Each structure stands twice: as structure tokens, then as C-alpha cells.
């Protein structure tokens, strides 16, 4: 059984939370910006400037704007599940050659096969509970040799908050769980992506107190989206126990929060290479190649 088989994310809750956060997201996204900058250092792996770039989980479009500046001649597409995020992204889209903004689910990309030279996704896919259909879509839209570049939060993210809630309430989960690095790697291989490489780092962010951390999470839209989460009010007693448990970890007058960041890059499969889908294998060829194979 996969580590992801025991729970499911509420996609409607994910959409609502990020939609509500759109207007103030950039007041809280310092970590997201830092991880995005580290992710884009890997753009040096591109042999040539991409003609078409897709930014999955673009949010308010800050990262998309960086990609547009790096590749001014490319067609740039910002895609996000939350429409309010894309509306907020308009101010970063520019006026001379604005990037396109598309509201869609990453697991059902509204794009033809082999359409994308660079697929970029910064801290988005941790909000998807099954990586297999996601990576199948990535593999489908990437051109042969196209670059997939993504970051995601790993399962050790918010470990201190998770432990504090466990001490206060051992019954209900209060913190979303995140994709494991091995799940990502397995999904990339199953989808037929070429030469996937993963690495992980742990970043520590400190806060004045626990409410400051919770305020930032809410501002980012990073709420508990577990479909099996408790829907009622938390209760003041349990909340106070959580605060006390977390405060016991205080060092030098501040509390720390761990963020496990997983980076992955891979390349689009050569034309005709099989990939797993629906219990079988699919190989994709261009019409021109099929016609050419019948000549003579």
C-alpha cells in the first residue's frame, strides 16, 4: 500500500482556501519566493530557450513573471486551480506581451500532447494526493527532451506543529500530510519521464509565537485539506494544549517550523517510449512518423 492510500485531499477545500488567500498571499510568501529562486537555478539545464512554458500552480504570478523575463520570446502560460489567484496575477502579467492565465486542474491540463518545452511548478503539487495521474499529464504535454522542473513540500514539513497537535488531540489530524520524495520519483518513472533526479533540503523558519505561524499559514491558504479532517470547531481547551505543547519547544524566545522541500527535475520521454496508464502501457507517435514508417 502506498503511503498515500490512507487519505485523500479535499480539492474543493484547496480551491476555496487559496481563493480566499489571493488578495493577501504575497504578504506571507517569503518562503515560497526563496524556494522558487532555488528551483529556477536549475534552468541552466535547458540547452536552448523554450518556445512554450507552462507554470503549474502559478498563484499570483510572481514566478511566472520571472520566467517571462528570462524567456521574453516564449509563450508563457500561468495555470492555477483558484480563479482569484489568476485574477491577482494580472498585475504581474505585463502589458506588452502578457502571459496567458488559465484556470484548470493540473491533473487535466487543457493542452495538446507534446506542447510544452518547460513545465515549471513551485510548491503546488503537495496539494494533490495521487501523483500518478498528475505525472501522467506532465509526461503527456512535455515535448521529447522538454524539461520538468518542480518543488514540493515533503512529509516532514510542519513536523513541530503536527507533534504539538498530536500531544493536544491524538484523535484528529490538524495538519495536512504531504507527498513523499519516493512517491514523486516512482510516479515520474511510471509516467515515462526520462532521467528523474530528486533532492531534498530542510529549511527552518522561526516565529515570535505559534499564532504568528498560524496566521501565516492562513494567509498562504495552507489550511488542513484532509478530506477526513474534523469539520467542527477545534475547541479552546485543545487549542490551548496545542499552544502549550508547541511553546515548550521555544528556543531563544522564538518557535521554529521545519519545511522539507523536495526538488525534482526530469525530461520528456522520447517519442514512442511507452508509459504506464490505466493498468497498461501507452506509446505516443506523431502522425508524420507513423506515415513515414509505412513508406516503401
Residues 198-212: b if buried by 16+ CB within 10 A, e if exposed: beeeeeeeeeeebee
Answer whether residue 39 is part of any domain.
Answer: yes
Average pLDDT for 224-250: 77
Nearby residues of 213 by Cβ (< 8 Å), 6 or more positions away: 161, 207, 255, 257
- What DSSP state is assigned to residue 127? G
Answer whether residue 62 is part of any domain.
Answer: yes
Q: What digits encode the pLDDT tens for the residues 216-226?
A: 999 998 877 66
Answer whether residue 193 is part of any domain.
Answer: yes
Average pLDDT for 96-108: 95
Answer whether residue 247 is part of any domain.
Answer: no
Answer whether residue 38 is part of any domain.
Answer: yes
CATH of the domain at 198: 3.40.50.150
Q: What digits encode the pLDDT tens for the residues 195-220?
A: 999 999 999 999 999 999 999 999 99
Of 137, 181, 129, 131, the C-alpha closest to 155 is: 181
- pLDDT at residue number 2: 45
Answer whether residue 254 is part of any domain.
Answer: no
Of 182, 138, 136, 179, the C-alpha closest to 280 is: 136
| Torsion angles phi and psi, residue 50, rounded to 5 | -75, 150
Contact 149, 71 (CB under 8 A): no
Answer whether residue 286 is part of any domain.
Answer: yes
Residue range of the domain that includes 123: 11-155+177-202+261-293
Answer whether residue 240 is part of any domain.
Answer: no
What's the number of domains the chain is made of? 1
pTM of the entire predicted model: 0.87
Amino acid at each position: 500500500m502506498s503511503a498515500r492510500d490512507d487519505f485523500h485531499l479535499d480539492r474543493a477545500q484547496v480551491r476555496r482556501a487559496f481563493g480566499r488567500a489571493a488578495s493577501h498571499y504575497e504578504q506571507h510568501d517569503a518562503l515560497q519566493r526563496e524556494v522558487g529562486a532555488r528551483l529556477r537555478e536549475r534552468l541552466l539545464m535547458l540547452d536552448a530557450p523554450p518556445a512554450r512554458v507552462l507554470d503549474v500552480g502559478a498563484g499570483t504570478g510572481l514566478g511566472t513573471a520571472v520566467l517571462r523575463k528570462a524567456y521574453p520570446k516564449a509563450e508563457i502560460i500561468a495555470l492555477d486551480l483558484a480563479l482569484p489567484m489568476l485574477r491577482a496575477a494580472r498585475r504581474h502579467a505585463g502589458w506588452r506581451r502578457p502571459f496567458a492565465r488559465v484556470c484548470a486542474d493540473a491533473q487535466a491540463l487543457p493542452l495538446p500532447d507534446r506542447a510544452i518545452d518547460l513545465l515549471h511548478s513551485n510548491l503546488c503539487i503537495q496539494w494533490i494526493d495521487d501523483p500518478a495521474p498528475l505525472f501522467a499529464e506532465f509526461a503527456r504535454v512535455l515535448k521529447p527532451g522538454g524539461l520538468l522542473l518542480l518543488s514540493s513540500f515533503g512529509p516532514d514539513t510542519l513536523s513541530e506543529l503536527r507533534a504539538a497537535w498530536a500531544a493536544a488531540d491524538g484523535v484528529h489530524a490538524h495538519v495536512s500530510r504531504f507527498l513523499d520524495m519516493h512517491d514523486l520519483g516512482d510516479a515520474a518513472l511510471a509516467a515515462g519521464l526520462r532521467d528523474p533526479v530528486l533532492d531534498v533540503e530542510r529549511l527552518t523558519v522561526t516565529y515570535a509565537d505559534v499564532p504568528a505561524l498560524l496566521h501565516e499559514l492562513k494567509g498562504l491558504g495552507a489550511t488542513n485539506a484532509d478530506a477526513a479532517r474534523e469539520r467542527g470547531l477545534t475547541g479552546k481547551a485543545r487549542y490551548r494544549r496545542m499552544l502549550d505543547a508547541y511553546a515548550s519547544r521555544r528556543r531563544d524566545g522564538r518557535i521554529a517550523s521545519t519545511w522539507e522541500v523536495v526538488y525534482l527535475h526530469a525530461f520528456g520521454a522520447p517519442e514512442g517510449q511507452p508509459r504506464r496508464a490505466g493498468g497498461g502501457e501507452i506509446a505516443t507517435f506523431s502522425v508524420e512518423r507513423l506515415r513515414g514508417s509505412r513508406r516503401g
